[in-house]
Amino acid sequence: MTNKTQQWHPETLSVRAGSEHSAFGENSEAIFLTSSFVFENAAEAAARFGGQEPGNIYSRFTNPTVTMFQNKLAALEGAETCVATSSGMSAILACVMGICSTGDHVVASRSIFGTSVQLFSSILARWGLQVTFVSLTEPTAWRNAAQKNTKLFFVETPSNPLTEVCDIAELATIAHQAGALLVVDNCFCTPALQKPLDLGADIIIHSATKYIDGHGRCLGGAVLGKKDVLEPVYGFLRTAGPTMSAFNAWVFLKGLETLHVRMDAHSRNALALAQWLEAQPKVARVYYPGLASHPQHAIAMCQQKTGGAIVSFDVKENGESGGKDAAWQLIDATQMISITANLGDAKSTITHPATTTHSRVSPEARAASGIGDGLIRIAVGLEHIEDIQNDLTYLTK
Ligand SMILES: *Cc1c(COP(=O)(O)O)cnc(C)c1O
């Protein structure tokens, strides 16, 4: 990274960091859709493969468009290095496969993306990885769960769908005392709102599919951190293959240019919607870190720039909290908001976690983690706030 890059403000890094230009002098970064790269002669090929000479060889190893994306995201997160992956899930997989071995142990938050739970408990467990799930918001539980063979602490903050928040700096200290690395899935906030490495975390995971793209177009992911820590993660990716395509990297490069303006606008709409929801007769409870009523509001406002863009709430049924019928009626009464489980899109999206994203979790486990049958999650988009509210008039009567 150049000195100039280090002096730039975050908004400027979004637009400018990582850009490289070909001999054609294009202003918008080029997409290098090529699987391999050619050499001048046999000696150059040998030197590239042998590592004596830097440069591209094959797009599973490196690709110039992917490198530009990695360098831009690394600049934004303040990370030494970034490796891009084919999806958010392959970022998590690469992180664990690179750093852990059979018999190692991971402590993970109970409130993580449903597929991440499946990856840890159904797939990685078959390869001898031990996993303990604990409550995101109870530091003592993390301290008690750590073992001699614990390699990673794994969290999402704010969590999905209840937007619980943990104190990243406190958890980093507990992880380091236990000889483990703290991994933060920073998908909900992005570096525009939260910088986990500055707070002591060791590794950041991204599903670029969400706010980094910002328009619901492509799947992708990234792992960020120190070079020596990520060396085996890159080694896994380069060998096993779930790397990012040049086309997707280009889409994410363009998405990152508007990251700050988008996250500010998403956050303004989300706060306004959360406040409006708190005043509606059919809403029992609102979950949004930007509200004073949120249990970890103070921590959230210390480590996040805003409350983020995800708002969840319990719909009342017959005056009581927690009915699936009322939740489904609300969803079916919307005309504009997209009924889909994705998030991080310019379009607002609405989902019923109990019967979609968390339907594979047992009813008991769902109840234990507070995901009731009346819970609705809205990923607040960039439409005018009054149009979003008008689509939810079901709640007002
Ligand atoms: C979507 C998501 C993932 C998985 O990302 P994909 O790109 O869908 O593979 C991981 N973590 C969080 C928090 C997510 O929201």
Distance from the alpha carbon of residue 198 to the mean position of ligand 1, in angstroms? 22
Task: List, for residues 135-165, the tens digit of each pLDDT value.
Answer: 999 999 999 999 999 999 999 999 999 999 9
- Select from 257, 289, 322 the last residue of a domain: 257
The helix (run of H) or strand (run of E) holding residue 7 is helix 3-7
- Protein residue whose Cα sits closest to atom 8 of ligand 1: 88
Angle at 197 between CA 193 and CA 200, to 5 degrees: 120
Distance from the alpha carbon of residue 33 to the mean position of ligand 1, in angstroms? 25
Residues with CB under 6 A from ligand 1: 87-89, 113, 116, 156, 160, 185, 187, 207, 209-210, 219, 221
Considering the domain architecture, whether residues 112 and 253 belong to the same structural domain is answered as yes
Distance from the alpha carbon of residue 221 to the mean position of ligand 1, in angstroms? 8
The 3 state secondary structure assigned to the chain is CCHHHHHCCHHHHHHHCCCCCCCCCCCCCCCCCCCECCCCCHHHHHHHHHCCCCCCCECCCCCHHHHHHHHHHHHHHCCCEEEEECCHHHHHHHHHHHHCCCCCEEEEECCCCHHHHHHHHHHHHHHCCEEEEECCCCHHHHHHHCCCCEEEEEEECCCCCCCCCCCHHHHHHHHHHCCCEEEEECCCCHHHHCCHHHHCCCEEEEECCCCCCCCCCCCCEEEEECHHHHHHHHHHHHHHCCECCHHHHHHHHHHHHCHHHHHHHHHHHHHHHHHHHHCCCCEEEEECCCCCCCCCHHHHHHHCCCCCCEEEEEEEECCEECCHHHHHHHHHHCCCCEECCCCCCCCCEEECHHHCCCCCCCHHHHHHCCCCCCEEEEECCCCCHHHHHHCCHHHHC
Considering the domain architecture, whether residues 174 and 284 belong to the same structural domain is answered as no
Of 85, 86, 89, the one to substitute when testing ligand 1's pocket (max ligand atoms within 8 A of C-beta) is: 89
Mean pLDDT value across the chain: 95
Residue 184 and residue 187: Cα distance in Å, rounded? 9
Q: What was the pLDDT predicted at 167?
A: 98
Considering the domain architecture, whether residues 90 and 192 belong to the same structural domain is answered as yes
Lowest-pLDDT range of 30-39, 100-109, 307-316, 368-377: 368-377
> Which range of residues forms the domain containing residue 207?
3-257
Q: What was the pLDDT predicted at 302?
A: 97
CATH code, domain carrying 148: 3.40.640.10
Q: What is the mean pLDDT of residues 326-343?
A: 96
Distance from the alpha carbon of residue 299 to the mean position of ligand 1, in angstroms? 24
Q: What was the pLDDT predicted at 323?
A: 86
- Select from 239, 257, 275 the last residue of a domain: 257
For 131, phi and psi rounded to 5 degrees?
A: -130, 135
Distance from the alpha carbon of residue 157 to the mean position of ligand 1, in angstroms? 13
Look up residue 41 and give its DSSP letter. Answer: S
- Protein residue whose Cα sits closest to atom 6 of ligand 1: 88
Quick one: pLDDT band at residue 361, thresholds 50, 70, 90? confident
Look up residue 119 and give its DSSP letter. Answer: I
Q: Which residues pair with 81 in a beta bridge?
A: 225
- Select from 199, 229, 257 the last residue of a domain: 257
Measured between its terminal Cα atoms, the distance across the chain in Å is: 56
Q: What was the pLDDT predicted at 321?
A: 66
Q: What was the pLDDT predicted at 367?
A: 82
Q: Can you tell me whether residue 168 is helix, strand or coil?
A: helix
Considering the domain architecture, whether residues 291 and 233 belong to the same structural domain is answered as no
Instruction: State which ligand 1 atom lies nearest to the alpha carbon of 160.
Output: 13
Total domains in the chain come to 2
Q: What was the pLDDT predicted at 385?
A: 98
Q: Percent of the chain beyond pLDDT 90?
A: 91
Considering the domain architecture, whether residues 184 and 135 belong to the same structural domain is answered as yes
Of 209, 251, 312, the one to substitute when testing ligand 1's pocket (max ligand atoms within 8 A of C-beta) is: 209
Considering the domain architecture, whether residues 30 and 170 belong to the same structural domain is answered as yes
Query: At residue 19, does pLDDT exceed 80?
Result: yes
Of 86, 109, 113, 120, the one to substitute when testing ligand 1's pocket (max ligand atoms within 8 A of C-beta) is: 113
- Protein residue whose Cα sits closest to atom 7 of ligand 1: 88
Task: Find out whether 18 and 72 touch, Cβ atoms under 8 Å.
Answer: yes
Task: Find out whether 81 and 226 touch, Cβ atoms under 8 Å.
Answer: yes
Considering the domain architecture, whether residues 281 and 343 belong to the same structural domain is answered as yes
Considering the domain architecture, whether residues 165 and 291 belong to the same structural domain is answered as no
Predicted model pTM: 0.96
Instruction: State which ligand 1 atom lies nearest to the alpha carbon of 219.
Output: 7
Q: What is the mean pLDDT of residues 371-387?
A: 96
Look up residue 142 and give its DSSP letter. Answer: H
Considering the domain architecture, whether residues 249 and 294 belong to the same structural domain is answered as no
- Protein residue whose Cα sits closest to atom 11 of ligand 1: 113
Considering the domain architecture, whether residues 96 and 242 belong to the same structural domain is answered as yes
Q: Can you tell me whether residue 88 is helix, strand or coil?
A: helix
Task: Find out whether 191 and 304 touch, Cβ atoms under 8 Å.
Answer: no
Q: What was the pLDDT predicted at 1?
A: 46
CATH code, domain carrying 387: 3.90.1150.10
Distance from the alpha carbon of residue 342 to the mean position of ligand 1, in angstroms? 9
Lowest-pLDDT range of 1-10, 293-302, 346-355, 367-376: 1-10
Task: List, for residues 90-108, the tens digit of each pLDDT value.
Answer: 999 999 999 999 999 999 9
Task: List, for residues 21-73, the tens digit of each pLDDT value.
Answer: 999 999 999 999 999 999 999 999 999 999 999 999 999 999 999 999 999 99
Lowest-pLDDT range of 2-11, 178-187, 246-255, 273-282: 2-11
Of 155, 210, 223, the one to substitute when testing ligand 1's pocket (max ligand atoms within 8 A of C-beta) is: 210
Considering the domain architecture, whether residues 355 and 294 belong to the same structural domain is answered as yes
Query: At residue 2, does pLDDT exceed 90?
Result: no
**Amino acid letter for position 376:** I
Query: At residue 79, does pLDDT exceed 50?
Result: yes
Distance from the alpha carbon of residue 40 to the mean position of ligand 1, in angstroms? 41
Instruction: State which ligand 1 atom lies nearest to the alpha carbon of 156.
Output: 13
Instruction: State which ligand 1 atom lies nearest to the alpha carbon of 90.
Output: 9
Considering the domain architecture, whether residues 267 and 246 belong to the same structural domain is answered as no
Instruction: State which ligand 1 atom lies nearest to the alpha carbon of 221.
Output: 7
